[in-house]
Structure 1
């Protein structure tokens, strides 16, 4: 089972109004900065620039389009210009996972 690919592909999850409001506010302010998000290629990726538009693709979800024309699905955003995004809790869950249960080893390695 490849957990990374399983988490990063698949259905779009609806995003709470508070995250959309942050995106719209930062877009209107023409904020330039970094966006960290989950991506299938590397796990966590980073985009940089200003938000040009928010596109709704009926089949794939809602995407941000940055000034360099890169697209980021908004339900996968960890942080947007330093503010928590819709996927922040999922990211934070990795740091809160129990590492001491098996000491980082798989059960068959003990």
Structure 2
């Protein structure tokens, strides 16, 4: 995982509830997250713990991955705190002519 230097943003409570549910059910899945925008990586496994550090809060998986909570795009297919950023890339006009955007 690449180091993220930007400030940690608080994670919404509804997403915390989703994480708690997934952890309690001991589900196994894939987590997509930003390393440095727009670069993304994925992590796999069960959620073992959520730890707080001076750099922010991190999710730890059974495969040894450490993912910053505010950078999660999807958690086992469910939208995460950074999904809106990812979704914004899909809404950008890809045409090179400004008059067609």
How far the C-alpha of 1:69 sits from its partner, in A, is 1.8
Paired position in structure 2 for 1:22: 18
Structure 2's unaligned 5+ residue stretches are none
Normalising by structure 2, report the TM-score.
0.86
- For 1:54 and 1:83, the matched residues in 2 are separated by 18
Paired position in structure 2 for 1:78: 73
Q: How does 1:28-67 map to 2 (within 5 A)?
A: 28-40=24-36, 43-57=39-53, 59-67=54-62
Paired position in structure 2 for 1:13: 9
Normalising by structure 1, report the TM-score.
0.79
Aligned length: 95
Structure 1's unaligned 5+ residue stretches are 105-110
RMSD: 1.9
How far the C-alpha of 1:46 sits from its partner, in A, is 0.5
How far the C-alpha of 1:99 sits from its partner, in A, is 2.4
Runs of 4+, deviation exceeding 2 Å: none
